[in-house]
Chain A
Amino acid sequence: MAKVLDGLSILDRAGQAVVGRVKAWLQEPQGRLPVSCTVYALSGEWDDVLASWLFVSKALRFGAGCAVNLEALHQFPTPSAGEIGFYLAEDHADYPEYAKLLHNCDADAAAWSARVKVADTMDEPVDEGWFSIQDSWVEVARRLQGGERVVVDLSRLRPRGQRNGKGLVASGPVSFSLIYLAIARLMADPSIPNLCAVYSVINEVLRRGGTYRNGAVTLFLDHTHPAAPAYLAMPRTQIEWAKRAMVIDASVLHHPLLPALLEAVESGDLFLAKKVYTPQGERLYSQVCMEVLLRSRDTCTLHHINIAELEIEQIPEAFEIGMHFLCELHRQSQVDSLGCYLPAEESRQVGLGILGLANFLAIQGITYDTFVNAFERFLDRWATIPEEQQLASLAAIAPAETDVANRAVLFLALGYLRSAKIARNYGMERAFTIAPTATSSFHYRDAHGYVTAPNIAPPIALSVLRDSQEFGLWEADYHPYAETAAQVGFDVYFRLACCFQRLMNSTGLAHAISFDLWDQQPIDVQFLSRWLDSPLLTTYYRTPTLGLDVVDKSRILCDVRPGECQTCAA
């Protein structure tokens, strides 16, 4: 697979930014491709809610993100009078930690109507009378729903931190007890917020309980859902490890929820998504990072073009190589062997994106503003050219174009059109996206050796620290001629994202864009209307872009013009 293209490894090709999990697999291509992010859309049946916990759990244990769409869930079971208790053998290594938080319920065993014995495996077969950890969640939920008093016996779970010889580190019984407690709260008070809390705790425990794994959970609800106000009103502490998104349409502008929704987006607590359907009318769902549109239980396979490493004329070939690679990767992924994801023949989508546009523009001496103006002019003209003539027309005019911004746009469009043809030949229904690349961009360099900026966005500053609790601080120095977000301005960035979405749409193979909302832009009705009217399909993080120099503690700052500042003069 790694040498599928002319015997040369994709990893050695200019402009190919292979994502981490794929790169690891290419270097040791045993078995199936590591599972990537996925989506689960609830059917509305309560049993499907229970099934979704297992689906989310599996994705997270693979280090993948999982979006859960809750829109269809309107019926909840009646509140349960059941009760939950725990048992951990006193000779268990984690008993001292356990005893600080929980107590054993065996003293009064007769009072407990059921005992759920949890085996030390997430989902492998277990002895009769025992439940795997995942299955025990469902069993506990069902028994609580039946009004039973349930003791969860955690004694067989390995102590926290213990390795199982297969590279897995135990989260420990105390950590897992948090999931049962969240389930018990849900069954006592069945509601969207309490269900969200279950997903959040599953992510917290599975992702962070043993060893850290990548992976995330994003939850989706639509603004007309009866629980939407409660969903927005959840404090962050109730949903620490899941992100919230809301699916909206223009009717939200006249909906009583509007002020709370604007506030939540402004505060960075809410992503937005529009409803999207296939041409056949089948609903598509955003995944965790919002940029890929999937059917329920589909997975995304991503690859990026590091445009910062390319000359303008190299762009089309890089796109063709990237798309060819991605479609082959998709064909050989074998993720359906796990039994819970859509097989490749039903999936029919990949996600080819871009990173390092800011570096590319810096190297070419093009400002964002100039690029966007050229891009808009091109797209407006483009719309008037019959589809069957577009590729030939572009191929003819691009080499003759002398203006560097126009030339960059033309070759970029050529890259999209040529690679779209490849994607269609592979039977893809969607193939283009702009992903956050918030981690992967740090691993790539531009043609001048500087770190690539994420996706199509300008960097927040020319030198930054990527700050992660798990991975610490990474330094990144972007191209010194790159424009920063503060210099570019949100309006130009918004128009740029619209241009990319329009270009992707013109191929008929568009996903979406993880579109950050910068702090320069107030989140108000005017902005929301503009976004709703735009081709953009989602919003993503609230990104600080202004006044970032104030973290500098190497000098007492002032920013008055030279000669006016008496502090500097003193």
Chain B
Amino acid sequence: MLLGNPAFYQAQIDRKRIWRPVCGVSTPITPGAETTVGRALALRVLELDVQSWVNAVIHSPELPLVPEAIRCLQLAAEEEVNHDQVLNMAAERFAEMISTEDQQTAYQLQKLWQDHPDHPIIKAGVLESAVFFVVLPILRLLSGSATLRIISNDISNDESRHAAQNRQMAIDLGYSWSPSLNCLRKDTVAWLVERLHIPNHRLGSPTVWLDASDSLLERMEAPQLADTRRPSYIAFFEQANSGLPVYRSS
């Protein structure tokens, strides 16, 4: 018997939005968020790991998931390429924000995620829902850069679906994360935000992001990130054309 609720997975497929990677001009970053933004971009190396894990799951012959779930995985694998591409563009544009040391640390963290023995779908689910769900709002609400905000919006379209479907697949397949993966998740987020310091900003300290990550993993919600519910209404004339989003209706 195939596992999973087809309606749930089909709903995720139906929510897919086609977008094209765009990256505008380099802009100033909010004072106090520079290191965090640089590290958020350095952690882009984890995007392709998610892709490879998803691919590993798709190609695993014993995977007893409904076809809709497999289609979700296929789409996710394709979409991670877009994420990698647009984040590489951003990393190039904001190269001065990413120190060599931070990029090396990001690679070390990547290696730890790659080598971790938990099932790939669990690693993807934890990374998407409790690390990328923190990275994206940081780029959107704290970076001070319209270029990075648009990139965050675009990736968000996919990541919300990915987080939901990966978490659901883990449940369907009967997997759960190990304490050591949870530790790695905490360490990754702690490193990401450890230098964050924006005075008089509700989201300007590390604690709120650490708590949000814990909450997203454990309860699948983070009320402290309620500001992210507001969609963006982009002031098109105030943005360079190359940074304007491109969505397709079909």
Q: When chains A and B are docked, how far (Å) is the Cα of A263 from the Cα of B2? A: 41
With beta carbons under 8 angstroms apart, the residue of B229, B231, B244 that contacts A268 is B244
Q: Are B222 and A266 in contact (CB under 8 A)?
A: no
B 22-35 to A, binary, CB cutoff 8 A, 1 in contact else 0: 10110100000000
Q: Are A240 and B242 in contact (CB under 8 A)?
A: yes
The chain B residue with its CB closest to the CB of A464 is B233
Taking residues whose C-beta sits less than 8 angstroms from the other chain, chain B's interface range is 35 or more
Contact status of A556 and B221, CB under 8 A, knowing A469-B145, A541-B236, A567-B164: yes
Q: Are A544 and B247 in contact (CB under 8 A)?
A: yes
Q: Are A550 and B157 in contact (CB under 8 A)?
A: yes
Q: Are A239 and B241 in contact (CB under 8 A)?
A: yes
B15 at the interface (CB under 8 A from A): yes
A 129-148 to B, binary, CB cutoff 8 A, 1 in contact else 0: 00000000000000000000
With beta carbons under 8 angstroms apart, the residue of B230, B235, B247 that contacts A519 is B247
Residues from chain B with Cβ under 8 Å of A476 in the complex: 233
Q: When chains A and B are docked, how far (Å) is the Cα of A269 from the Cα of B241? A: 8
Contact status of A240 and B241, CB under 8 A, knowing A553-B133, A560-B11, A564-B7: yes
Q: Are B235 and A471 in contact (CB under 8 A)?
A: yes
Residues from chain A with Cβ under 8 Å of B239 in the complex: 468-469
User: Which of A294-302, A313-321, A330-338, A520-528 makes up part of the contact surface?
Assistant: A520-528
The chain A residue with its CB closest to the CB of B129 is A556
B123 at the interface (CB under 8 A from A): no
Question: Which residue, A216, A519, A544, has most C-beta atoms of chain B within 10 A?
Answer: A544
Question: Which residue, A236, A469, A541, A567, has most C-beta atoms of chain B within 10 A?
Answer: A469
With beta carbons under 8 angstroms apart, the residue of B15, B167, B226, B249 that contacts A567 is B167
Q: Are A558 and B11 in contact (CB under 8 A)?
A: yes
Q: Are A554 and B7 in contact (CB under 8 A)?
A: no
Residues from chain B with Cβ under 8 Å of A541 in the complex: 236
Q: Are A266 and B228 in contact (CB under 8 A)?
A: no
Q: When chains A and B are docked, how far (Å) is the Cα of A567 from the Cα of B249? A: 28
Residues from chain A with Cβ under 8 Å of B224 in the complex: 554
The chain B residue with its CB closest to the CB of A564 is B7
Q: Are A551 and B232 in contact (CB under 8 A)?
A: yes
DSSP class of A's interface residues: helix, strand, loop or mixed? Answer: loop
The chain B residue with its CB closest to the CB of A463 is B230
Contact status of A439 and B240, CB under 8 A, knowing A464-B230, A473-B141, A547-B17: no
Q: List which A272-326 residues lie within 8 A (CB) of chain B.
A: 288
Residues from chain A with Cβ under 8 Å of B163 in the complex: 556-557
A243 at the interface (CB under 8 A from B): yes
A483 CB → nearest B CB, Å: 15
Q: List which A503-542 residues lie within 8 A (CB) of chain B.
A: 519-523, 541-542
Residues from chain A with Cβ under 8 Å of B242 in the complex: 236-237, 240
Contact status of A558 and B17, CB under 8 A, knowing A465-B232, A466-B233: no
Residues from chain A with Cβ under 8 Å of B153 in the complex: 551
A276 CB → nearest B CB, Å: 23
A110 at the interface (CB under 8 A from B): no
Q: When chains A and B are docked, how far (Å) is the Cα of A515 from the Cα of B217? A: 43
Q: Are B233 and A559 in contact (CB under 8 A)?
A: no
Contact status of A551 and B238, CB under 8 A, knowing A557-B160, A558-B168: no
B171 at the interface (CB under 8 A from A): yes
Q: Are B230 and A565 in contact (CB under 8 A)?
A: no
B236 CB → nearest A CB, Å: 6
A493 CB → nearest B CB, Å: 15
Residues from chain A with Cβ under 8 Å of B24 in the complex: 469
Q: Are A553 and B222 in contact (CB under 8 A)?
A: yes
Q: Are B246 and A267 in contact (CB under 8 A)?
A: yes
A467 CB → nearest B CB, Å: 4
A362 CB → nearest B CB, Å: 18
With beta carbons under 8 angstroms apart, the residue of B136, B234, B235 that contacts A553 is B136
The chain B residue with its CB closest to the CB of A569 is B171
A 470-494 to B, binary, CB cutoff 8 A, 1 in contact else 0: 1111011000000000000000000
Q: Other than A240-B241, A544-B245, A552-B229, give 18 A-B pairs with Cβ distance below 8 A.
A: A236-B22, A240-B25, A240-B242, A242-B241, A243-B236, A267-B20, A463-B230, A466-B233, A471-B238, A550-B157, A551-B229, A551-B232, A553-B225, A554-B223, A558-B168, A564-B8, A565-B5, A566-B171
Between A and B, 18 residue pairs with Cβ closer than 8 Å are: A236-B242, A240-B240, A438-B233, A438-B235, A464-B233, A466-B235, A467-B232, A468-B146, A470-B238, A471-B235, A519-B248, A523-B249, A549-B160, A552-B228, A553-B156, A555-B221, A558-B8, A566-B172
Listed from nearest, the 6 A-B pairs whose CB atoms lie closest are A548-B231, A469-B146, A468-B235, A554-B225, A555-B221, A550-B160
- Residue positions of A touching B, CB distance < 8 A: 65, 216, 236-237, 239-243, 266-269, 288, 438-439, 460-461, 463-473, 475-476, 519-523, 541-542, 544, 546-561, 564-567, 570
